[in-house]
Amino acid sequence: MLSVQEAFHLILQTVKPVTPHQCSLLEAYHCVLAEGTVSDVNVPPFDKALMDGFAVRSADLPTGEATLQIQETIYAGSVPTLPLQAGQTSQIMTGAPLPEGADAVVQIEHCILNEKQQTVQIETSLVTPGKNMLYRSSVLEAGATVLEAGTFLRPQEIGALAETGSPIVSVRRAPSLAILATGDELVPPEQPPQPGQIRNSNEIMLHTQIFQSQANAIPLGIARDERNHLREKILEGLKSDFLLLSGGVSAGTLDLVPSELQAAGVRQVFHKVNLKPGKPLWFGILEEANRTPCYIFGLPGNPVSSMVCFELFVKLAIRQFMGFPTPEAVPVQARLQLEFQSKGNRPTYHPAQVEWKDGEAIVSPLKTLGSADLRSTVNANAVALFPAGNQLYQAGDKVDTFLW
């Protein structure tokens, strides 16, 4: 059976980053930059006051005390008209350009103004060059790189692009993911289940996992275990960038998903991966002329399997689609809080609680009844990875964890 690493590799080989498009900064939020940007301005564009007060020549204030002659008042948005000579100062507002000759600002709280004589008496501590000001282009020079291709655009990056003259950018968008829950036993969460029935919890859980991934969810409801109904829903789902099916991918007689996907023209890339939970995972691609491909995941129906497979495999595919330079999840090494007995013949991703103590991650695997026990994941903020085999791990042993 395919290993998790081989499955990751096949997903990265199959999923192509989507073609970039140009858009406004608002539309670019939560997309990935496809081309790097450079600044068209110096930041700041001039020597800039960081305090309301008086622009001074620091050489005039060797002890921090002096009485200086006021030249003018400089507001943010205006330009100074008079340079400072020895013994001179200009009143200045935060954000305004410093006059020529000035190399520091004394904040207004340390100044006594004599309006009649147009002087100011300054009583402050030592004034060094650069105090309460930013030198021109000290943050960024015009022509310098602001953001590299592959940067995920959060509010701070959007602001930096606005500041540096990139109101239109080339980005890769997040995908749309259709969700199709399959199974005759399923009823919507708002409905009380009748004998033999259970609530469709996977759909809403996947929907919110998609939210967490900053992508777009298209829930398609429940498909019955009947070929025509399933086919109709699958064809609808194949219009999205991704189709996530939940259930019907293992070996049951009504596990119709793989054969119906193939009938719809989907090419299977792999079926079954050596991990627990999530072994029956199915992955394929639909490639048709004149459209971007659709990537299809058949997620195992058991809720914890569905959740884990989304975190491990679907997130990787989403990040590859969006053009993240490193789409792989990075494990956090954590020390076991207590000894732990791992069991089973598959590498296991076990619900766990990770805490930080003295800068170190400490992990406690949680009690669970397995892949149908969604309740056990409620106290988890991670999964801990234990290799296949029965092994007694000691408290303090290091294990890989993946934070949720």
Binding residues for ligand LQZAQKY5, rule: CB under 6 A, are: 181, 183, 185-186, 198, 200-203, 246-252, 255, 277, 279-280, 300-303, 305, 371-372
Number of residues that bind ligand MOO (CB under 6 A): 8
**Beta carbon of residue 255, minimum distance to ligand MOO (angstroms, whole number):** 13
Stretch that binds ligand MOO, among 120-128, 238-246, 299-307, 335-343 (CB under 6 A): 299-307
Choose between 70 and 254: whose C-beta lies nearer to ligand MOO. Answer: 254
Burial of 155 per CB tally in 10 Å (0-12, 13-18, 19+): exposed
In the complex, the smallest distance separating the C-beta of residue 334 from ligand LQZAQKY5, rounded to whole angstroms, is 26
Nearest-approach distance from CB 313 to ligand MOO, in angstroms: 12
**Between residues 164 and 209, which has the closer beta carbon with respect to ligand MOO?**
209
Binding part of the chain for ligand MOO, among 217-225, 298-306, 381-389, 390-398 by CB under 6 A, reads: 298-306
For 28, 95, 336, 383, 394, the CA distances from 105, given in Å and listed in that order, are 38, 11, 54, 53, 60
Distance of CA 192 to the CA centre of its chain: 37
Q: Do 167 and 37 form a contact (C-beta atoms < 8 A)?
A: no
Residue 122 vs 180, nearer CB to ligand LQZAQKY5: 180
Give the bridge partners for 364, in sequence order: 353
Phi, psi torsion values for 261, nearest 5 degrees? -65, -45
Which of 66/281 has CB closer to ligand MOO? Answer: 281
Q: Is 368 in the site for ligand MOO (CB under 6 A)?
A: no
Q: Is the peptide bond before 195 cis (omega within 30 degrees of 0)?
A: no
> Is the peptide bond preceding residue 62 cis, with omega within 30 degrees of 0?
no
CB-nearer residue toward ligand MOO: 247 or 278: 278
Which residues in 266-285 contact ligand MOO (CB under 6 A)?
276-279
Partner whose binding site includes residue 286, from ligand MOO, ligand LQZAQKY5, none (CB under 5 to 8 Å by kind):
none
Binding at 202: pick from ligand MOO, ligand LQZAQKY5, none (beta carbon under 5-8 Å per type): ligand LQZAQKY5
How far apart CA 394 and CA 342 sit, in angstroms, is 11
Which CB atom, from 5 or from 114, has the smaller least distance to ligand MOO? 5
Based on CB atoms, which residue is closest to ligand LQZAQKY5, 53 or 183? 183
Tell me which residues touch ligand MOO (CB under 6 A): 276-279, 300, 302, 305, 371
